[in-house]
Amino acid sequence: MTTIRRTTCRANGIRQFYLEAGVGPPVVLLHGFPETNFAWRFQIPALASSYRVIAPDLRGYGETDKPASGYDKRTMANDIVELLKALGVGRIALVGHDRGARVATRLVKDHPDLVDRLVVMDNVPTRIVAREMSAKAAREYWFFMFHQIPDLPEALIAGREHIWLRHSFSEWCHDPTTITGEAFDTYVRAYSAPGAVRGAMADYRASAEDIAQDLDDADRKIKCPVLSLWGEDFGAVGGLFDMKAVWSEMAENLTVAPIERCGHLPQEEQPEVVNKLLLDFLKGWNG
């Protein structure tokens, strides 16, 4: 049975909470929205047999601090860089889902020497979402706009976190009952904590800064090997974008893997498929 260590570390000025398991070449897992590092519960045991797995809660999420500022992706990427320094970790393989993929993409752009290979899961880069915005896209990305309204989401969601999360999980998964029972209750507890909804909203409210950062180096492609995987049944990603074309614009050395019968949460909806894809892609990563 895999031993998962639950640990905190102060890095980049905030207290960060992370899960850690296994020994070997380091693999860092960055969760998305509306999740926490609990999202990786199926991947950590599968990877920990060969790798040192580190899965932090991002700034504003879970048990990590939720300060008033610092949610642009460069700062959030630097959170991870400083955490790795504190842990004595050098070069890594990096996996990011959704918002975590945005952090991961900025990290590899700003610190290319730190990342040996990158996995991005069910994510369209922020500047491309903005560039391709249309009436059809706006229907899929309504929550991007809603989350950026100051104060209103927090006021409407307070005490109704279960309704908000139930809608998101049901709408975004191919099987609406994917996140139920204790898993659903775990997320409700996380997002019911003081500051948790505000932290997640602050992540989205940094979009203008994120786009500006992305535009600054839009012409510089990621050089390390990149695996882009996504659920074929999520309207806002695979249903709306040519994902191979999107990530070919971002990366020089690209592998793509659409996943059938899967929505926005591949690591939770199709964990065995995702685990195989990750293990295959990580072969040869020896630290």
pTM, two decimal places: 0.98
Q: 1 pLDDT exceeds 90?
A: no
Q: Mind telling me the catalytic residues?
A: 98, 204, 264
- pLDDT score of 105: 98
User: What is the torsional sign of CA 233, 236, 242, 243?
Assistant: negative
Backbone angles phi, psi at 195, to 5 degrees: 85, -5
pLDDT at 198 (0 to 100):
98
Res. 35: pLDDT tops 90: yes
Find the mean pLDDT for residues 9-35: 98
Percent of the chain with pLDDT over 70: 100
Q: What is the pLDDT of residues 51-70, one digit of tens each?
A: 999 999 999 999 999 999 99
Please give the average per-residue pLDDT across 46-50, as a whole number: 97
- Residue 194 pLDDT level (bands cut at 50, 70, 90): very high
Q: What confidence score (pLDDT) does residue 221 get? A: 98
* Model confidence at 172: pLDDT above 90: yes
Mean model confidence pLDDT for the chain: 97
123: nearest Cα among 103, 108, 109: 103
How far is residue 62's CA from residue 191's CA, in Å, rounded to a whole number? 7
At 70-127, the pLDDT tens digits run 999 999 999 999 999 999 999 999 999 999 999 999 999 999 999 999 999 999 999 9
Q: Who's near 16: CB < 8 A, 6+ residues apart?
A: 8, 9, 10, 56, 57, 59, 64, 65, 79, 83
Average pLDDT over residues 128-144: 95
Per-residue confidence band for 27, with pLDDT thresholds at 50, 70 and 90: very high
